[in-house]
């Protein structure tokens, strides 16, 4: 901020969120950046054009609006550079394409976001990459899976839908010793609760669709790299031509400003609901890393500063009971929780998790797994809604 005063040494996460990425005095003092809609950028003369001698050259390579968001993410992640892509899924696939070549071996966590598995099993395999899934709890023993051509380890902690934690520092240590790149989908924690690059991860991925955007109305992904991996990422994305639109970048930057206070609320309410579920006889287990009963809790406690607001639980079921029917009864009785994909918005959501594609990490078998995204509503109302759903499910 350049309004003449010496800056206060402000490093708190919410202060950072309120200021990161854009100086209002770069644009007449307006607090938010201008929304620049563009493809073509004009050059003043042919010589400048020949040498690309100005900051902006064509809008696929950035605009003042997308730069404001990228600069903010760089500050939060501690990254050398960030690129924007049109979805969280595209952020993971672009990162994998940036660092893998035909003949390479890639280790992908078995609790990975399902559509990434789809990408790995189809396109990545078709392009000649040998994909191998590993147990999220493998820790340092991941070294056993390394081959001479292992070039990348993709991590996601906690894992999708079942929330297994991973020992990221141990994975990084092994991977770097064996010359492999480490990528991490850190969407659940956001850089407020875990900073992958500080933990040694090379490339940090965020589905900004979730907490950064925060209102279930934007799709976007960010990929942030450390200094040694930034050039390759930038080059790959330049070749692929993915970019974020100014409207989406503006919305995500706007969302970031309030992400800290929203996350505090998501975290607090999700813990209240998780503990309430844990005390019920009709719940087998609650899959939430911040609960002491959860197997990966110690890793979460050691490495993370907080918890996101999405987690799952296993609904108790009798022998031979129809899990799908039971889950449907439960979900159909909810009125405040919407039935829908994604998470990170202000509204609570629920769904029956499909774990049929798991290969290595065991999926719960005692009953249907229900995932909850705890929104910003009053937690007492959410619990009353769930109470109603348990009553309905008990009639199956
Ligand atoms: C952990 C995780 N990563 C990535 C994605 C993909 O994000 P998007 O919906 O923006 O493609 C999701 C979506 O649910 C997710 O849960």
Do you know the residue count of the chain? 396
Any atom of ligand 1 within 6 Å of the Cβ of 89: yes
pLDDT the model gives residue 330: 98
Contacting residues for 314 by C-beta, under 8 A, at least 6 apart: 283, 284, 285, 286, 287, 364, 366, 367, 368, 369, 370
Q: Residue 152 forms beta bridges with which residues?
A: 106, 181
- Nearest C-alpha neighbor of 349 from the set 315, 386, 316, 306: 386
pLDDT the model gives residue 361: 86
Q: For 54-103, write each residue's pLDDT tens digit.
A: 999 999 999 999 999 999 999 999 999 999 999 999 999 999 999 999 99
Q: Which atom of ligand 1 is nearest to the CA of 310?
A: 16
pLDDT the model gives residue 5: 56
Contacting residues for 239 by C-beta, under 8 A, at least 6 apart: none
Q: How many CB atoms lie within 10 A of CB 137?
A: 19
Any atom of ligand 1 within 6 Å of the Cβ of 342: yes
Q: What is the best residue among 222, 248, 342, 343 to mutate for testing ligand 1's pocket, by most ligand atoms within 8 Å of CB?
A: 342
pLDDT the model gives residue 24: 95
pLDDT the model gives residue 315: 97
Rounded Cα–Cα distance for residues 195 and 276 (Å): 30
Domains of the chain, with CATH numbers? 13-254 (3.40.640.10), 260-393 (3.90.1150.10)
Least confident of 179-183, 252-256, 353-357, 369-373: 353-357
* d(CA 267, ligand 1 centre) in Å: 19
Q: Are 129 and 100 in contact (CB under 8 A)?
A: yes
Residue recorded with tokens 């719960």: 364
142 burial type by CB count under 10 A (0-12 exposed, 13-18 middle, 19+ buried): buried
Q: For 163-188, write each residue's pLDDT tens digit.
A: 999 999 999 999 999 999 999 999 99
Rounded Cα–Cα distance for residues 124 and 126 (Å): 5
Rounded Cα–Cα distance for residues 232 and 251 (Å): 28
Q: For 286-344, write each residue's pLDDT tens digit.
A: 999 999 999 999 999 999 999 999 999 999 998 888 999 999 999 999 999 999 999 99
Q: How many CB atoms lie within 10 A of CB 126?
A: 9
Q: What angle do CA 251, 35, 5 make, to 5 degrees?
A: 90
pLDDT the model gives residue 9: 65
Q: How many CB atoms lie within 10 A of CB 194?
A: 22
Q: Are 212 and 206 in contact (CB under 8 A)?
A: yes
125, pLDDT greater than 50? yes
Rounded Cα–Cα distance for residues 337 and 64 (Å): 38
Any atom of ligand 1 within 6 Å of the Cβ of 255: no
Local confidence band at 2 (pLDDT 50, 70, 90 cut-offs): very low
Q: For 184-237, write each residue's pLDDT tens digit.
A: 999 999 999 999 999 999 999 999 999 999 999 999 999 999 999 999 999 999
What does R_g of the chain's alpha carbons equal in angstroms?
22
Any atom of ligand 1 within 6 Å of the Cβ of 185: yes
Q: How many CB atoms lie within 10 A of CB 159?
A: 25
SS3 category, 104? coil
* d(CA 228, ligand 1 centre) in Å: 26
SS3 category, 144? helix
HSE on the CB side for 102, CA within 13 Å?
3
- Nearest C-alpha neighbor of 99 from the set 155, 151, 177, 143: 151
Residue bearing the bigger pLDDT, 3 or 217? 217
* d(CA 327, ligand 1 centre) in Å: 23
Q: How many CB atoms lie within 10 A of CB 298?
A: 13
Least confident of 9-18, 124-133, 174-183, 322-331: 9-18
- Nearest C-alpha neighbor of 174 from the set 203, 153, 198, 204: 153
Residue recorded with tokens 């600069």: 71
381, pLDDT greater than 70? yes
Any atom of ligand 1 within 6 Å of the Cβ of 221: yes
Any atom of ligand 1 within 6 Å of the Cβ of 160: yes
- Provide the 8-state DSSP code for 296: T
Cis, peptide link before residue 48, omega less than 30° from 0: no
Residue bearing the bigger pLDDT, 287 or 363? 287
Which tokens sit at 38?
Answer: 């563009």
- Per-residue burial over 228-241, b = 16 or more CB atoms within 10 Å of its CB, e = otherwise: ebbeebbebbeebe
For strand 150-156 and strand 181-185, is the pairing parallel, antiparallel, or unpaired? parallel
Rounded Cα–Cα distance for residues 272 and 178 (Å): 42
Q: For 248-281, write each residue's pLDDT tens digit.
A: 999 999 999 999 999 999 999 999 999 999 999 9
Any atom of ligand 1 within 6 Å of the Cβ of 186: no
* d(CA 57, ligand 1 centre) in Å: 31
1, pLDDT greater than 50? no
pLDDT the model gives residue 395: 87
pLDDT the model gives residue 380: 98
Which tokens sit at 258?
Answer: 């309030």
């Amino acid at each position: 901020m350049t309004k003449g005063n010496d800056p206060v040494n402000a490093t708190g996460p919410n202060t950072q969120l309120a200021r990161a990425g854009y100086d209002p005095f770069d644009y007449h003092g307006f607090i938010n950046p201008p929304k620049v809609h563009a493809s073509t950028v004009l050059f003043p003369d042919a010589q400048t054009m020949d040498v690309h001698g100005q900051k902006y050259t064509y809008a696929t390579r950035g605009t003042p609006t997308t730069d404001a968001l990228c600069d903010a993410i760089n500050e939060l992640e501690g990254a050398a550079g960030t690129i924007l892509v049109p979805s969280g899924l595209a952020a993971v696939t672009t990162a994998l394409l940036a660092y893998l070549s035909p003949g390479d071996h890639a280790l992908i966590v078995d609790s990975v976001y399902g559509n990434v598995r789809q990408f790995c099993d189809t396109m990545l395999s078709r392009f000649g990459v040998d994909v191998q899934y590993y147990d999220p709890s493998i820790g340092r023993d991941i070294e056993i899976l390394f081959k001479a051509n292992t070039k990348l380890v993709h991590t996601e902690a906690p894992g999708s839908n079942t929330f297994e934690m991973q020992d990221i520092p141990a994975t990084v240590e092994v991977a770097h010793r064996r010359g492999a790149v480490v990528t991490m989908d850190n969407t659940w924690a956001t850089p407020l609760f875990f900073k992958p690059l500080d933990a040694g991860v090379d490339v940090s991925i965020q589905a900004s669709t979730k907490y950064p955007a925060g209102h279930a109305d934007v799709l976007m992904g960010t990929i942030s790299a450390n200094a040694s991996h930034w050039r390759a990422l930038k080059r790959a994305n330049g070749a692929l031509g993915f970019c974020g639109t100014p409207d989406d970048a503006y919305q995500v930057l706007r969302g970031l400003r309030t992400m800290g206070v929203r996350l505090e609320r998501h975290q607090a309410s999700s813990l209240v609901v998780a503990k309430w579920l844990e005390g019920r006889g009709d719940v087998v287990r609650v899959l939430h890393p911040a609960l002491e009963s959860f197997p990966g809790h110690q890793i979460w406690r050691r490495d993370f500063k907080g918890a996101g607001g999405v987690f799952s639980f296993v609904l108790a079921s009798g022998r031979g009971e129809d899990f799908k029917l039971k889950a449907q009864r439960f979900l159909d009785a909810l009125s405040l929780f919407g039935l829908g994909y994604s998470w990170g918005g202000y509204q609570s959501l629920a769904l029956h998790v499909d774990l049929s594609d798991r290969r290595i990490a065991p999926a719960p078998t005692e009953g249907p797994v229900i995932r909850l995204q705890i929104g910003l509503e009053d937690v007492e109302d959410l619990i009353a809604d769930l109470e109603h759903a348990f009553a309905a499910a008990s009639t199956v």
